[in-house]
């Protein structure tokens, strides 16, 4: 029998280390959340300051260049401010937040820590529409106003948050929607807004809202031939959860994504055989900080 070639992705170097610092707990219940986070979802727990510190130490010998924090909502974790302050001793940090629970006292401490650090602290704030009418049906009643207030707080403390929006509109409307976003953000006092549009992932709550991946939506080994694998998060990243170290932030709920208990154990190749891998393959760099207008409409592979 001919052997089947797996779509294996080798970790080139552990550049980015992610932390599922908020577990799956969130103050919101967005209807497109790909890990179905909510105020009641405790499937994954918080990471404590001590746990993060241990991983930061572990990461030094591996030459990790940047640290990312996600959830759930990271700022529900009572250690979050201290975790970011500690991380800024090791490298640049980015935290993904829904922007609705930010407190001035935390941002003041973080602005002071960043000013004293060699490294930068980035915030990514999720909003999925440029108005309450377009955002709130996805993220919940009143969330547009609350997230915009969070962005204004960040700007007032000297941060330049990256606004991330899941594309819950037809791709043909990208330019029009992006224009509306920029106008609204500028009117709110954010004069040079940074914006990143993300594809939705057909997992978790989004699977119920629209559809899941079909069995045919899979990356094959042939598709990876001559493909720039550095576009894939799993080619240069791993994520720590309270269960261990997983291949990427997208697949933590898939049992085969858990690669080991230590960072060293997780440095193994991974076969990208999940439906969500097709979204990464098609859009690339979906977890990076780059922010821009799309230069061209993305096309299916």
Give me the residues that bind ligand SF4 (CB under 6 A), please.
Answer: 26, 28-30, 33, 37, 71-73, 98, 126, 139, 232-234, 247-248, 250-251, 270, 272, 274, 276-277, 280
Residues 6 or more apart in contact with residue 161 via CB below 8 angstroms: 99, 122, 123, 124, 125, 151, 154, 155, 190, 194
Min dist CB 223 to ligand SF4, Å, is: 11
**Shortest distance, CB of residue 291 to ligand SF4, whole angstroms?**
18
Question: What minimum distance in Å lies between the beta carbon of 191 and ligand SF4?
Answer: 26
CB of 219 to ligand SF4, least distance (A): 7
CB of 52 to ligand SF4, least distance (A): 19
Give 44 or 67: the residue with its C-beta nearer to ligand SF4.
44
DSSP-derived secondary structure for the chain: -PPPPP-EE------EEEEETTTTB-S---TT-TT--BTT--SS-PPPHHHHHHHHHHHHTTT--EEEEESS-GGGSTTHHHHHHHHTTTS-EEEEE-SSS--HHHHHHHHHHHHHSSS-EEEEEE-SSSSHHHHHHHH-TTHHHHHHHHHHHHHHTT--PEEEEE--S-GGGHHHHHHHHHHHHHHTT-SS-EEEEE---SSHHHHHHT----TT----HHHHTT--GGGSGGGTEEEEETTEEES-SS-TTSGGGEEESSTGGG-S-EE--SHHHHHHHHH--TTS------SS-----
Least distance CB 57 / ligand SF4 (angstroms): 25
Nearest to ligand SF4 of 88, 286 (CB atom): 286
Nearer to ligand SF4, 168 or 177 (CB): 168
Residue 130 or residue 270: which is nearer to ligand SF4 going by CB? 270
Structure tokens at 59: 């990461």
Residue number, 81 or 278, with CB nearest to ligand SF4: 278
Distance in Å, CB of 89 to ligand SF4, minimum: 27
Nearer to ligand SF4, 40 or 175 (CB): 40
CB 301 within 8 A of CB 272: no
Nearer to ligand SF4, 59 or 257 (CB): 257
Q: How far is the CB of 18 from ligand SF4 (least distance, A)?
A: 10
CB nearer ligand SF4, residue 81 or residue 237: 237
d(CA 195, CA 168) in angstroms, rounded, equals 15
């Amino acid at each position: 029998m001919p052997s089947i070639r797996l779509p294996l992705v080798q970790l080139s170097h552990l550049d980015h280390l992610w932390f599922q610092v908020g577990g799956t707990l969130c103050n919101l219940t967005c209807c497109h959340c790909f890990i179905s986070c909510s105020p009641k979802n405790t499937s994954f727990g918080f990471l404590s300051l001590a746990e993060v510190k241990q991983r930061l130490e572990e990461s030094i010998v591996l030459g990790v260049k940047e640290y990312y924090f996600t959830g759930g909502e990271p700022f529900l974790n009572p250690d979050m401010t201290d975790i970011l302050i500690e991380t800024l001793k090791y490298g640049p940090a980015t935290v993904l937040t829904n922007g609705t629970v930010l407190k001035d006292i935390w941002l003041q401490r973080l602005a002071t820590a960043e000013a004293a650090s060699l490294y930068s602290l980035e915030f990514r704030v999720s909003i999925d529409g440029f108005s309450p009418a377009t955002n709130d049906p996805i993220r919940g009643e009143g969330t547009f106003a609350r997230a915009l207030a969070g962005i204004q707080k960040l700007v007032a403390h000297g941060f330049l948050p990256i606004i991330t929006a899941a594309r819950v509109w037809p791709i043909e409307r990208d330019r029009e929607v992006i224009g509306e976003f920029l106008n609204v953000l500028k009117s709110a006092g954010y004069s040079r807004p940074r914006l990143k549009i993300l594809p939705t992932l057909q997992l978790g709550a989004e699977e119920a809202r629209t559809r899941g991946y079909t069995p045919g939506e899979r990356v094959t080994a042939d598709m990876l031939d001559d493909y720039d694998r550095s576009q894939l998060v799993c080619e240069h990243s791993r994520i720590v959860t309270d269960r261990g170290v997983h291949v990427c932030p997208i697949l933590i709920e898939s049992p085969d994504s858990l690669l080991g208990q230590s960072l060293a154990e997780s440095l193994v190749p991974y076969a990208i055989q999940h439906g969500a891998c097709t979204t990464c393959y098609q859009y690339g760099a979906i977890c990076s900080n780059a922010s821009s207008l799309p230069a061209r409409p993305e096309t299916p592979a």
